[in-house]
Amino acid sequence: MSVRVRDLTVSLSGRVVTEAVTTGIDRGGWLGIIGPNGAGKSTILRAIVGTIPYAGVVEIEGRGDIHHDRRESARMIAYVPQRPELPPMMRVCDYVMLGRTPHLSLFATEGPRDLQVVEEVLCRLELAHLRDRTLSEISGGEAQRAVLGRALVQEASVLVLDEPTTGLDLGHQEQVLELTDELRHERGLTVICAMHDLTVAGQFCDRLTLIDRGRVVVEGAVAEVLTPDRIRKHFGAAVEVVDDGVGGIIVVPRRRPRQR
Amino acid sequence: MWVRSARERGVPSSCQPWQLLVGVLFLVGVMTLAALIGPADLPLGGVISTLLEKLPLLHVHSTLSVTDQQVVWQIRMPRIVLGALVGAMLAVAGATYQGVFQNPLADPYLLGVAAGAGLGATLAIELFPRTTSWPVSPVPLAAFAGGLVAAIVTFLLGRSGGRYRATATLVLAGVAVAAFFTAVQTFAQQRNTQNLQQTYAWILGGLTTASWQQVEIVAPYVVISAGVLVAYRRVLDVMSVGDEEADSLGIRAHRVRLVTVIFATLGTAAAVSMSGLIGFVGIIIPHTLRLVVGSSYRRILPLSVLFGAAFLVLADLLARTIAAPAEIPLGVITAFFGAPFFLMVLRRAGGSR
């Protein structure tokens, strides 16, 4: 499903956090939200998910009223927060099963179809052997897969990820992102993802939105957004931008020559 | 209601039928034991036949004398049934508070709910002494109002930075609120000095004066409240990922918290208005169940009803037998087991944060 955000303004405890943000992505695309710390990336994602109040329009597949019904909205948008709450005593299978919540009425119990969906996702994410472990007994990479699994069993067509590789080592970062990309193609998911690693953003995203101090600086294709000048201006970092030759972009930090 | 079809049994954390069966058998066993033991030495067969006589369709006749039947049915049974109702309610309310506030030490007694309910009940008794002719007794309603006020004040005071799970803060707020409400309640009762002894008996908690009439007043509140809370068991598991994530999963976390706290407080208030202040049941039962059946509220809530009921019947049996013919206040027994347990939970909670 396509996602369009228009004039999104969010105030949290009286402070304007994002102002008049306009961006969007077509069905099946991967939109990266980048920007320095505190720019308002997470806030934009939370507004798209609908868990915080906002002014402006969030449209999913042309519908601007999806946040009126929480359950319906949760069937369209699945959310992986930056620091998910992981109840330490909860078992992996029970945790993933929570993702079926929007498909159940308040007092209903999961049926065979819910169990089947969870089973498929556990196998697809290679979590099946961990199903009876508690969340405190698995590694960070495994926990991140469990959170992704919970989002996938929602069977939403929009997946919102807030820096999904936070705290993971290089190998697990790559694993989670490749997995997300594979699932996007398998299931035709639209991905909106806040990212802090610009090389990763340059390799995985179709489009990027650069945010600074709550406002959109630039929005467009990866090569248009990631230029050394912009990165220096908004991140305060000196970098070199290299074309990886297969349609992606690599951003390499480069120390300024020291003047003695 | 809890019997599941075979295909649903696959839900990993659901309460298993055998677990419920164990709970039911344990409760029935404890209630029968409590009916057997007492100052009047009655034979096992006589007591059981007296109880079975009351069941419809069984056509069993009691082998006891009329007086002994009275002892079983008018003295022992109301007390046992009232104890079971109160215990079930306190345990399921404790589990619910722990779930929706994500605080392992939440308990009707520690949150001040019981003290607030006590104040409400006392004021109702003082202000409207003759209520037997009223269609509905005002006591549980007044207790509910008092309990709800106490709960709200505790949560407002104890909510540090918008989070309920700062374990110690919430409990400290509860202690302060409970102390205040208990002080006002004591003051209200002191003004009526002929009730002084009764006052203290009530504060320490007890089922000494239990009657079928009290059971009839409390039962609807407890059955409805516990029923609603058990119905929310799956949603309470969803609440354990925090409000924002629960919202993103399609649950309105604030609304769920409001509804469950109202029913937990209503049931607790009704129970406490009859039994007096009984602490720690809401801590002991849910935490013991967590150790045995895991952390899912799908199991903890229904099993809390059964084992909470059984626990309080047993505690009351101890209260009236270990120093017989004198009685030890029931609240003393539950505190005796509960306080060490509380410290254990506090240590575990402190260690994980």
Contact A43, A12 (CB under 8 A): yes
Cβ separation of A90 and B244 shorter than 8 Å?
Answer: no
Does B12 fall in a domain?
Answer: no
Pairing mode of beta strands A15-25, A158-162: unpaired
Does B2 fall in a domain?
Answer: no
What does the DSSP 8-state code read for residue B268?
Answer: H
Burial B187-209 (b: 16+ CB within 10 A, else e): ebbeeeeebeeebebbbbbbbee
Q: Which of A72, A94, A101 sits opposite B296 (nearest CB)?
A: A94
Residue B164 has pLDDT above 70, yes or no: no
The domain in which residue B38 lies consists of: 17-351
Q: At what angle do helices B297-321 and B77-101 cross, to 10 degrees?
A: 140
Residue B154 has pLDDT above 90, yes or no: no
> Mutate which of B98, B248, B254, B263 to test chain A, going by most A C-beta atoms within 10 A?
B248
Each residue's pLDDT tens digit, A186-235 = 989 999 999 988 999 999 999 999 999 999 999 999 989 999 999 999 98
Amino acid at A238: A
Mean pLDDT score, B246-253? 92
Burial of B184 (0-12, 13-18, 19+ CB in 10 A): middle
Angle at A245 between CA A244 and CA A251, to 5 degrees: 20
Between residues B31 and B161, the one the model is more confident about? B31
pLDDT of residue B254: 86
Burial A220-257 (b: 16+ CB within 10 A, else e): eebeebbeeebbeebbeeebebeeeeeebbbbeeeeee
Mean pLDDT score, A6-20? 90
pLDDT of residue B352: 47
Does B11 fall in a domain?
Answer: no
Does B10 fall in a domain?
Answer: no
B268 to chain A nearest CA, in Å? 22
Cβ contacts of A115 on chain B, cutoff 8 Å: 10-11
Mean pLDDT score, B199-206? 64
Does B1 fall in a domain?
Answer: no
Window 140-169 of A, Cβ < 8 Å to B: 154
Mean pLDDT score, A84-103? 92
Instruction: Give the Cα separation of A229 and B43 in Å (integer).
Output: 94
A84 to chain B nearest CA, in Å? 8
Instruction: Give the Cα separation of B7 and B293 in Å (integer).
Output: 21
Cβ contacts of B231 on chain A, cutoff 8 Å: 107
Does B283 fall in a domain?
Answer: yes
Among A243, A175, A195, A257, smallest CA distance to A37 is for A195
pLDDT of residue B199: 58
Each residue's pLDDT tens digit, B192-202 = 766 566 556 66
What does the DSSP 8-state code read for residue A101?
Answer: G
How confident is residue B8, by pLDDT bands cut at 50, 70 and 90?
very low
Lowest mean pLDDT among A1-10, A26-35, B46-55: B46-55
Mean pLDDT score, A51-60? 92
Residue A249 has pLDDT above 80, yes or no: yes
How confident is residue B137, by pLDDT bands cut at 50, 70 and 90?
low
pLDDT of residue B2: 38
Check CB contact of A79 with chain B, cutoff 8 Å: yes
Cβ contacts of B287 on chain A, cutoff 8 Å: none
Check CB contact of A236 with chain B, cutoff 8 Å: no
pLDDT of residue B131: 53
Instruction: Give the Cα separation of A181 and A179 in Å (integer).
Output: 5
Does B8 fall in a domain?
Answer: no
Contact B278, B331 (CB under 8 A): yes
Cβ separation of A81 and B231 shorter than 8 Å?
Answer: no
Kindly report the average pLDDT of chain B as a whole number: 83
Check CB contact of A49 with chain B, cutoff 8 Å: yes
Check CB contact of A109 with chain B, cutoff 8 Å: yes
Cβ separation of B250 and A75 shorter than 8 Å?
Answer: yes
B104 to chain A nearest CA, in Å? 12
What does the DSSP 8-state code read for residue B5?
Answer: P
| Domain count within chain B | 1
E strand or H helix at A114: helix A112-124
Q: What is the DSSP string of B95-138?
A: HHHHHHHT-TT--TTTTTHHHHHHHHHHHHHHH----TTSSS-H
Residue in A with minimal Cα distance to B99: A87
Cβ separation of B248 and A79 shorter than 8 Å?
Answer: yes
pLDDT of residue B45: 85
| Helix, strand, coil percentages in chain B from 3-state DSSP, rounded to 5 | 75, 0, 25
Cβ separation of A112 and B10 shorter than 8 Å?
Answer: yes
Contact A2, A60 (CB under 8 A): yes
Does B201 fall in a domain?
Answer: yes
A90 to chain B nearest CA, in Å? 6
pLDDT of residue B350: 58
Joined together, the tokens standing for residue B54 give 């009351």
How confident is residue B119, by pLDDT bands cut at 50, 70 and 90?
confident
Torsion over CA: B231, B233, B234, B239 (sign) = positive
Cβ separation of A131 and B12 shorter than 8 Å?
Answer: yes
B238 to chain A nearest CA, in Å? 6
Edge to edge, the sheet with strand A77-80 lists A77-80, A158-162, A190-194, A30-34, A207-212, A215-221
Q: What's the CATH code of the domain at B133?
A: 1.10.3470.10
Across the A/B interface, how many CB contacts are shorter than 8 Å?
Answer: 90
Instruction: Give the Cα separation of A140 and A245 in Å (integer).
Output: 32
Percentage above 70 pLDDT, chain A: 100
Q: Which of A51, A74, A131 sits opposite B244 (nearest CB)?
A: A51
Pairing mode of beta strands A158-162, A190-194: parallel
B261 to chain A nearest CA, in Å? 17
Between residues A21 and B109, the one the model is more confident about? A21
Residue A177 CB coordination number (10 Å): 22
Percentage above 90 pLDDT, chain A: 62
Mean pLDDT score, A77-94? 92
| pTM for this entry | 0.86
Q: Residues near A213 by Cβ (< 8 Å), separated by ≥ 6? A: A39, A40
